[in-house]
Structure 1
Amino acid sequence: MTTPSTALDKSLNAFHLWGIAVGLVISGEYFGWSYGWAQAGTLGFLVTTVAVAAMYVAFIFSFTELTTAIPQAGGPFAYALRAFGPTGAAIAGYATLIEFVFAPPAIALAIGAYLNVQFPGLDPKHAALGAYLVFMGLNIVGVHIAATFELVVTVLAVAELLVFMGVVAPAFSVSNFIVGGWAGQDSFSLGALGGIFAAIPFAIWFFLAIEGVAMAAEEAKDPKRTIPIAYISGVLTLTALAFGVMLFAGATGDWKSLSDLNDPLPQAMKRVVGESSGWLHMLVWLGLFGLVASFHGIIMGYARQIFALARAGFLPGVFAQVHPRFRTPHRATLAGGVVGIAAIYSDSLVSVAGQSLTASIVTMAVFGALTMYVVSMLALFRLRRSEPGLARPYRAPLYPVAPGFALVMAGICLVALIVYNPLIFAIFAAIMVVAVVLARIVGKPAAVGPVSTFDPAI
């Protein structure tokens, strides 16, 4: 049973949760995805994105069943613990932790890069450090304050993407998008097929971390009702924005000039309105809202994952304590921040296989996400068989087809990622093996039983 010293504040409504769901991901609409064009071309990457979007829609509609049936801060860790016991829980928990701890440094560096454009004398790494300090502090002072801030910046970020599409719409030309759209060729080839698979991590970046809403489940009001609303509306919002941003950016001119940039949207708009336009300056400045929304939201996510792992005995118990006044996992928030800041200032260690620091971090996070998706869908099937009487306020539609499709697609994406990133996978696998073995040897996992440790009355 959850004790008062580890009880989280329950104050989030459906709108807050929608803000978290979209905000966790929305930076992916601003940067990162355009590297997929360099791998597959616009049309090849469109194929990749359609397949990945279908996977995420099927996954979220299925994942929501787990979140409402077991509304715990550990999210996938809690579902795997229930379904497979401590070993399965350790795999899901540490994979999720890698995803959520490694994604924020990439976003923080992007924040630093945006600020460096406006203030050339500001070191992007120092700006990234400042972002960590500010938003860890905001997360610690209260979940309602943090979630309300997340909601505001998410709404602004969504509005900005709609403005972008409206401003560049007059220059929209289908021919711009399709010329050389198959990995630089005008027609499909086997080389384009390889590019489609190589571009998978960049399509996943459009949606990465939406599952983090599950980690706010213990802080939600009426989670059985609010979580399905947030998840389903969130994934549909993100799908519409992902395709809108990609199509409008690629149809404004030569898409190849945007395929290796961290700021594809400002550059696409610049071609339409010119460098001195107020619309362009607005996009550059307000672009920070999208980055901040994801950065801030993912800090919320990693803190809850560390908290849940510690509470269950898979990490030192010191990280399971909540702040006596704010009722937030303050020590877990600081611990994840230390890892992220170390990554920012360790580019020579984090950058591997000839990739940039940002690309290496993104790929590592995607490995964690895909591993967690596979385990979560397996847990859904396992719990349907082992606990048919478990209260399921929301049941996955089209079962078993939808979760089966999500499972197969996640497996295909994981295999493709391993083929194209063997060195980063080796690092990921080594971290996972060490973490799981240590958790089983020195950890003190909580007992697994048929009754959830979450008490909705607290």
Structure 2
Amino acid sequence: MNDAPDGRRPQLDRVISATQLWAIAVGMVISGEYFGWNYGWEVAGTVGFLISTIIVTIMYVTFIFSYTELTTAIPHAGGPFSYAHRAFGQIGGFIAGFATLVDFLLAPPAIAYALGSYTHFLNPAIPIMGTALATYVVFITINLFGIKQSARFSLIVTILSVLELVVFLIIILPCYDNDRFLANNPPSVEPGGVFAGIPFAMWFFVAIEGVAMVAEEVKNPHKTIPRGYISSILTLVILALGVMILSGGVGDWRQLSNLDHPLPETLTMALGKNNAWSKVFASLGLFGLIASFHCNTISYSRQIYALAREGYLPKILSQISLKYHTPHWALIAGGLVGFLAIFTGTTNEIIILSVLGAVVMYLISMLSLFVLRKKEPGLHRPFKAPLYPYVPAVALILSVVCLLAIVYYNRWLSLIFFGGLGISLLAFVLKYIIFTSKKVIN
């Protein structure tokens, strides 16, 4: 076993400050400003996708203000799994855990592939796939050496990536033309395009909920978590709207709608093909992708660890390193899943599966909030959702709308997701029945 010399099992360390939590939250998401969202232009145009983004932004703002209540009241590494398990029992916990795993295990492969694409843009001799696979090896290794070191690294790369996006916006602002943003759109906004763009609008914000997975490693979580969450969602809303709107008015946005490196191409449109800024930005742009990959690696490992600790996954995945106090087997296992995912689909397909997991998790988390308010009225809630029940109700309703839109326009991928959930849930129920029967017999 992985026990300390005194017989106690090692625990996760509480070392993360409010600033570091902001960095982890923004870092998990900030790659969504660098790539992925632009696929929404392909299905909705700039105007339709702007509406998609506004809908999703409202959902995320209301969700985070509601979700923070759960995270501060139940600061466990399981995050959504812990809330749903407490509200709905083992089946609810399993569904939330499955959805969260899909969310956080599939975000890193998409980010890793984009890292490869940005690197290939800089030097065509560097293979995209080789860079993507090397990314996993490097950042799993970094995360094995402890959360304190990981949080410091997150703070540095997140600050650099935020500053880079600010510089990007300043550079392209003089080149923005509203007529170019509106050009080449359908004569009227098509509802179908707006709904088809929703999963790509979610990519601007998806994974911010991962802060819940490091709740057991936060200093003074009752105060630190609200500060980290609220400051991070405000940062991301400003950056997301700025990047999407200004990029769409620099040139022909259709040329950016199917690339994994839209921002360097935007600079090329703004400043000219041979301008050095586009190459410099692509080099610096790696910071944002690195920040997100690194922070998502932290989150997926904590979710695997928490599920294994509760018996939903093999117990070996809940072991913590004696020396570094990190869930080493969970980090490695999640990396192996990511390796496989890189080879199984395109970036936009991986993004859709990831946001499917996210939106199911949002839905069950909001339901958990309502149930726990009734079931456990005496639960200590250091932060309460404002304007309850209206704010969480808006988050819940918009989560349902987003889920229906994603399923309707991505039926095959939805079948894969819900088929996997159904098979896994059936296996879990059968295992539980068999285990219970053996206990009764004994």
Normalised-by-shorter TM-score class: over 0.9
Report the Cα distance in structure 2 between the residues aligned to 1:97 and 1:150, rounded to whole angstroms.
21
SS in 1 for 2:30: helix
SS in 2 for 1:42: helix
Give the superposition deviation at 1:5. Answer: 1.9
Alignment of 1:223-372 (within 5 A): 223-344=221-342, 346=343, 350-351=344-345, 357-372=346-361
Alignment of 1:180-195 (within 5 A): 180=184, 184-185=185-186, 187-189=187-189, 192-195=190-193
Alignment of 1:176-215 (within 5 A): 176-180=180-184, 184-185=185-186, 187-189=187-189, 192-215=190-213
Give the superposition deviation at 1:440. Answer: 3.1
Q: TM-score by structure 1 length? A: 0.91
Report the Cα distance in structure 1 between the residues aligned to 2:246 and 2:327, rounded to whole angstroms.
41
- Give the structure 1 partner of residue 156 of structure 2: 152
Which of 403, 406, 421 lines up with 1:432 in the alignment? 421
Amino acid at match of 1:174: N
SS in 1 for 2:400: helix
Q: Are residues 248 and 416 of structure 1, via their aligned partners in 2, closer, same or farther at CA, if it must alter by over 3 Å? A: same
Conserved 8 A contact 2:39-2:348 = no
Whether 1:399 and 2:397 are equivalent positions in the alignment is no
Amino acid at match of 1:412: V
Which of 40, 43, 62 lines up with 1:39 in the alignment? 43
SS in 1 for 2:9: helix
Conserved 8 A contact 2:84-2:368 = yes
Report the Cα distance in structure 2 between the residues aligned to 1:251 and 1:121, rounded to whole angstroms.
32
Report the Cα distance in structure 2 between the residues aligned to 1:37 and 1:276, rounded to whole angstroms.
26
Give the superposition deviation at 1:267. Answer: 1.0
Whether 1:121 and 2:112 are equivalent positions in the alignment is no
Report the Cα distance in structure 1 between the residues aligned to 2:260 and 2:428, rounded to whole angstroms.
38
Conserved 8 A contact 1:315-1:439 = no
Which of 364, 382, 393 lines up with 2:371 in the alignment? 382
Report the Cα distance in structure 2 between the residues aligned to 1:38 and 1:112, rounded to whole angstroms.
22
Could you say what the CA RMSD is over the residues aligned between the two structures, in angstroms? Answer: 1.8
Amino acid at match of 2:339: I
Give the superposition deviation at 1:271. Answer: 1.5
Conserved 8 A contact 1:112-1:127 = yes
Conserved 8 A contact 1:69-1:390 = yes
Report the Cα distance in structure 2 between the residues aligned to 1:230 and 1:64, rounded to whole angstroms.
10
Report the Cα distance in structure 2 between the residues aligned to 1:273 and 1:148, rounded to whole angstroms.
35
Give the superposition deviation at 1:441. Answer: 3.1
Q: How many residues align?
A: 431
Q: Are residues 128 and 369 of structure 1, via their aligned partners in 2, closer, same or farther at CA, if it must alter by over 3 Å? A: same
Give the superposition deviation at 1:394. Answer: 0.2
Give the superposition deviation at 1:6. Answer: 5.0
SS in 2 for 1:39: helix
Give the superposition deviation at 1:389. Answer: 0.1
- Give the structure 2 partner of residue 451 of structure 1: none
Of residues 392-401 and 5-14 in structure 1, the stretch that sits farther from structure 2 once superposed is 5-14
Give the superposition deviation at 1:439. Answer: 2.6
Conserved 8 A contact 1:313-1:443 = no
- Give the structure 1 partner of residue 177 of structure 2: 173
Q: TM-score by structure 2 length? A: 0.95
1:97-137 alpha-carbon deviations (Å, 9 max, x no partner): 01100111111111111112233222211111110000001
Report the Cα distance in structure 2 between the residues aligned to 1:81 and 1:254, rounded to whole angstroms.
49
- Give the structure 2 partner of residue 450 of structure 1: none
Give the superposition deviation at 1:278. Answer: 3.2
Report the Cα distance in structure 2 between the residues aligned to 1:174 and 1:116, rounded to whole angstroms.
32
Of residues 108-117 and 91-100 in structure 1, the stretch that sits farther from structure 2 once superposed is 108-117
Report the Cα distance in structure 1 between the residues aligned to 2:254 and 2:352, rounded to whole angstroms.
22
Conserved 8 A contact 2:122-2:279 = no
Q: Are residues 213 and 443 of structure 1, via their aligned partners in 2, closer, same or farther at CA, if it must alter by over 3 Å? A: farther
Over 6 Å off, 4+ runs: none
Conserved 8 A contact 1:27-1:290 = yes
Of residues 371-380 and 258-267 in structure 1, the stretch that sits farther from structure 2 once superposed is 258-267
1:315-368 alpha-carbon deviations (Å, 9 max, x no partner): 111101100000011100000000100122x3xxx33xxxxx111111111110
Give the superposition deviation at 1:248. Answer: 1.1
Conserved 8 A contact 1:24-1:298 = yes
- Give the structure 1 partner of residue 54 of structure 2: 50
Report the Cα distance in structure 2 between the residues aligned to 1:223 and 1:432, rounded to whole angstroms.
32
Give the superposition deviation at 1:4. Answer: 4.2
Report the Cα distance in structure 1 between the residues aligned to 2:128 and 2:28, rounded to whole angstroms.
22
Amino acid at match of 1:411: V
Whether 1:94 and 2:83 are equivalent positions in the alignment is no
SS in 2 for 1:5: coil
Report the Cα distance in structure 2 between the residues aligned to 1:273 and 1:4, rounded to whole angstroms.
60
Conserved 8 A contact 2:10-2:322 = no
Q: Are residues 330 and 205 of structure 1, via their aligned partners in 2, closer, same or farther at CA, if it must alter by over 3 Å? A: same
Which of 412, 416, 426 lines up with 2:401 in the alignment? 412
